[in-house]
Structure 1
Amino acid sequence: MSKREEYERRVEEILMPIIKVNKYELVDVEYVKEGSNWYLRAYIDKEGGITVDDCEVVSRALGEILDREDFIDGAYILEVSSPGLGRPLKKERDFERSLGEEVEVRTYKAIDKQKEFMGILKSYDKASVTLEFEDETEMNIARADIALIRLAFDF
């Protein structure tokens, strides 16, 4: 396990009690380098959406524990936010919640000369997802071939 993965795992463990007490959902934790800065990001959600106050509650509680435990080497910027409209489906509960919804899928390599697909998420398992298109045809795409899958949204 890489340091990045270890940090994300430990932060997730720390966050879970905070998330449960406040009746939020932990969507994702990521530790990434952008430019010369490292960022530790926690994405939270709840029914009806997340507010700035919700993010502040989690950020303060998490920040206190991270300062006390001090297991992350070097400086980083802590951010707590909502996942936003275009959030990718990553965890099992993301897929479960999105069944029957329209999703956008981008693949690493072309399938039938195409790398982007839009359809209804009909089913999923650890190996693949099944989309249904407007013409009622279905397509099974291996999860290993998926670069991005997220809810589709119209403006």
Structure 2
Amino acid sequence: MSKVTETVESLAIPILEQLQLELVDIEYVKEGQNWFLRIYVDKDAGVDIEECGLVSEKLSERLDEVDPITHPYFLEVSSPGAERPLKKPEHFQKAVGKNVHVKTYEPIDDEKVFEGKLVSFNGEELTVEYKVKTRVKTITIPMDKVAKARLAVLFS
């Protein structure tokens, strides 16, 4: 995590706790000529635009006070969407029983991408049940091999 995202996280957490929202992710990226600070928030029932606006307003005030970013940037606060990223252990725990998309750093059983149901997560490994044509297979993936993971919307 970069210094900017660490600072923003420390500023955002108290605001989100007050609003009973969860911090899902923070991105600080340059796209073209512009810098973007993206904050993804959620709660069990989902977030609406008013809540995102309120977080943006309160966080913007704190960012102006602390001023951790010295150049112009765009602040965006939004829901992580239906295919939200899974980054923290608690994200994986909440996703057990749901469909996931997992990419690994290196092949496991000659594959690097797995999409299916997250059957279990024990903090060290996740187990995904997925289909290959008509066969159902199960794979256990060590967390240190996970490059990216997100919830997945599967179409039958």
Question: Which ranges of structure 1 fall in alignment gaps of 5 or more residues?
Answer: none
C-alpha offsets along residues 34-77 of structure 1, whole Å, 9 cap, x if unaligned?
11111111101122211111111000000011111112121111
AA at the equivalent of 1:145: K
Question: Which ranges of structure 2 fall in alignment gaps of 5 or more residues?
Answer: none
Q: Indicate the residue corresponding to 1:154 in structure 2.
A: 154
Could you tell me which of 126, 131, 135 is aligned with 1:129?
126
Cα distance change of structure 1 residues 154 and 120 upon mapping to structure 2, 3 Å threshold: closer
Q: Tell me, what secondary structure is at the counterpart of 1:53?
A: helix
* Root mean square deviation, CA, Å: 2.0
Native 8 Å contact 2:105 2:145 kept in 1? yes
CA distance in 2: counterparts of 1:42 and 1:133, whole angstroms: 31
Q: Indicate the residue corresponding to 1:8 in structure 2.
A: 5
Q: Indicate the residue corresponding to 2:92 in structure 1.
A: 95
Query: What is the TM-score with the length of structure 1 in the denominator?
Result: 0.86
Query: What is the TM-score with the length of structure 2 in the denominator?
Result: 0.85
- Deviating more after overlay: 99-108 vs 75-84: 99-108
Q: How many matched pairs?
A: 152
Q: Indicate the residue corresponding to 1:145 in structure 2.
A: 145
Question: 1:137 offset after TM fit, Å?
Answer: 4.4
AA at the equivalent of 1:33: K
Could you tell me which of 38, 49, 54 is aligned with 1:52?
49
AA at the equivalent of 2:56: S
C-alpha offsets along residues 10-38 of structure 1, whole Å, 9 cap, x if unaligned?
11111111111111111111111111111
Question: 1:106 offset after TM fit, Å?
Answer: 2.0
Percent identity between matched residues is 43
Q: Indicate the residue corresponding to 1:77 in structure 2.
A: 74
Q: Indicate the residue corresponding to 1:115 in structure 2.
A: 112
CA distance in 1: counterparts of 2:43 and 2:144, whole angstroms: 29
Cα distance change of structure 1 residues 83 and 143 upon mapping to structure 2, 3 Å threshold: same
CA distance in 1: counterparts of 2:152 and 2:59, whole angstroms: 31
Could you tell me which of 62, 67, 76 is aligned with 2:64?
67
AA at the equivalent of 1:11: V
AA at the equivalent of 1:104: H
